[in-house]
Amino acid sequence: MHDLRWIRENPDAFDRGLSRRGVRARVKKLLALDRHWRVHETEAQEAQAELNSLSREIGIAKRQSRISEVPARNPHDTLYERLDIPELIKAAEAAKAKQTAAAENAARLREQIDKLVATLPNLPAPDVPDGPDETANRLIRKHGEPPRFNFDPLSHEAIGEELGLMDFARAAKLSGSRFVVLKGTLARLERAIAQFMLDLHTTKFGYIEVSPPYLVRQQAAYGTGNLPKAAKDMFKTTSGLWLIPTAEMPLTNLVAGDILDEAALPLRFTAWTPCFRSEAGAAGKDTRGMIRMHQFHKVELVSITTPEQSEAEHERMTECAEEVLKLLGLPYRVMLLSAGDMGFAAQKTYDIEVWLPVQRTYREISSCSNCGAFQARRMAARYRPSGEKGTRLLHTLNGTACAVGRTLLFVFEHYQDEGGALVVPDVLRPFAGFDRVERQ
């Protein structure tokens, strides 16, 4: 959510920021609504002040009227006229009608303003490259080299189906496309990957593990910026609750409506949850395999910080996600997303992409974003700086550390042998309890 006062004072800067995000200028319309809203808001306040004054005069007049003998007064005397109770009541009724009409107009205009502002994405940070999509993303660094095979590597879905442990056909009978059934040692390996990530982030990096709800109210989805913009990409229950597309939603909302002490910051949370996405905008994309699913598991990182901490926290969070890939021995690169490729709530995003041998390209496995005060303003999440009486908006950050299903498929393609089996990476063996995945 954006600060309306800041927009009012910096219309050109706001317009430029939206243009960088590929959003057509709506500043003139917004400011016009704002001007009309302030006119009606002022009218309502003035009418309320007049009504309050008249109410006091009516009270005085009624007390005066109870005096049995009132000295004769000149009919033209101002006080005499103001003690005319019927006239005062008539004036009060007019002031009340004026206040009600102005307040209703102000409320209607404010609702229009809030709806419009709620559809506008966060403004990109100054160092975010301009560009409409992923073609303008900037390479920050690379780690590791793509593997060289002395045989033709198979795709993860081909290996999984050949081993009899990855079943898309039966999943389709149960739920339709973009679902998978994992069985036996492969299901156990997926769980081992999640356990490995959770242990790493909680023990080495100090994140607090959380087991959150998988269903949230509309206000929680609005607070993180998923609603109203991404409603088509989410699943909604008949009771009005929303299935989480990422644990970012419940984890970030843990501080919604709170005022935290600065000494408690930063807060760092992690969770392993299923995630549910309708993928409404992905028709025809990645229809084979586990790249893009309606249901998948993910280990999420969320940080709650002060504005002064958020930039350094963003770098730290990205390094935490990278450590997962370093320990797994997967070659990756870190990309700074362009203004047109970022998510709705982000002001700056790093994507971590792992080399996928069969596709011979890098594919995203993690996305780490600094949202600044954008989500905090929507959630009314604040903190009290040390030694100050006032409060300030928090900064929120989120990152994938990493997508468990995608990590599984990357491990599959990198650690396959010529016989079609999977060699389990050393770091996962204590969690999995075996060193190979073979046909069962």
Helices vs. strands in the chain: H and E counts, helices first: 14, 17
Per the residue annotation, which of 20, 21, 268, 277 is the catalytic one?
Answer: 277
With beta carbons less than 8 A apart as the criterion, state whether 293 and 285 touch: no
Per the residue annotation, which of 310, 338, 367, 369 is the catalytic one?
Answer: 367
Is 364 an active-site residue?
A: yes
With beta carbons less than 8 A apart as the criterion, state whether 51 and 59 touch: no
Displacement of CA 430 from its chain's centroid (Å): 35
With beta carbons less than 8 A apart as the criterion, state whether 251 and 212 touch: yes
Per the residue annotation, which of 268, 303, 406, 413 is the catalytic one?
Answer: 406
Per the residue annotation, which of 57, 364, 384, 392 is the catalytic one?
Answer: 364
Displacement of CA 415 from its chain's centroid (Å): 34
With beta carbons less than 8 A apart as the criterion, state whether 431 and 195 touch: yes
**Residue whose token pair is 């033709």:** 152
Is 81 an active-site residue?
A: no
Secondary structure class of 171 (helix, strand, coil): helix
Is 110 an active-site residue?
A: no
Pairing of strands 382-384, 259-261: parallel
Asked, as a colleague might, if the bond just before 402 is cis with ω within 30 of 0, I would say yes
Per the residue annotation, which of 110, 188, 292, 363 is the catalytic one?
Answer: 292
Distance CA 414, CA 35 (A): 60
User: Among 135, 105, 51, which residue's Cα sits nearest to residue 337?
Assistant: 135
> H or E element: which one contains 159?
helix 156-163
Catalytic residues: 277, 292, 364, 367, 406
